[in-house]
Amino acid sequence: MPFSISKVLKRKDANLTIQWYGNMEGILNAPQLPGWYYQNPEEGEVWYFADKKEDPSHEPYTNTHTGTEVLSTDHVYLNGFPMNKNFAIPKAVLKEISACEDIDWYLPEHQIEIHI
């Protein structure tokens, strides 16, 4: 199962409205910045990732924009962890994601610490 990083904005029963986090390169080990969205008359729908929105009229880029249903009962594996101050996913969280059999992502071997 693929996964993504997001912030819960609204909850109605099991349905969540989330703000996508990421970066334009799609790299998990890079900063995971909040997503922002706006309509451009010439370009149509535009979304980007940045620590702050570029314009006050831009809104959070959410699963509503992407048409993605997110249910707290089926789609949330880890929750409540804080991002590092540079918007990086904490190493402990990356290790837990890597160890999860349901998620098809693994930490590169050189980043896994072995304790004997």
Residue-wise pLDDT tens digits, 25-63: 888 778 999 999 999 999 999 999 999 999 999 999 999
What is the Cα–Cα distance from 111 to 47, expressed in whole angstroms? 31
Residue-wise pLDDT tens digits, 64-104: 999 988 877 676 766 777 788 888 888 888 888 888 887 77
Query: The whole model's pTM is what?
Result: 0.78
Q: Is the distance from CB of 7 to CB of 18 less than 8 angstroms?
A: yes
Q: Which residues contact 76 (CB under 8 A, 6 or more apart)?
A: 16, 70
**Nearest residue to 89 (alpha-carbon basis) of 1, 18, 3:** 3
- Per-position DSSP letters for 41-78, written without gaps between them: TTTEEEEEE-SS-SSTT-EE-BHHHHT---BTTTS-SS
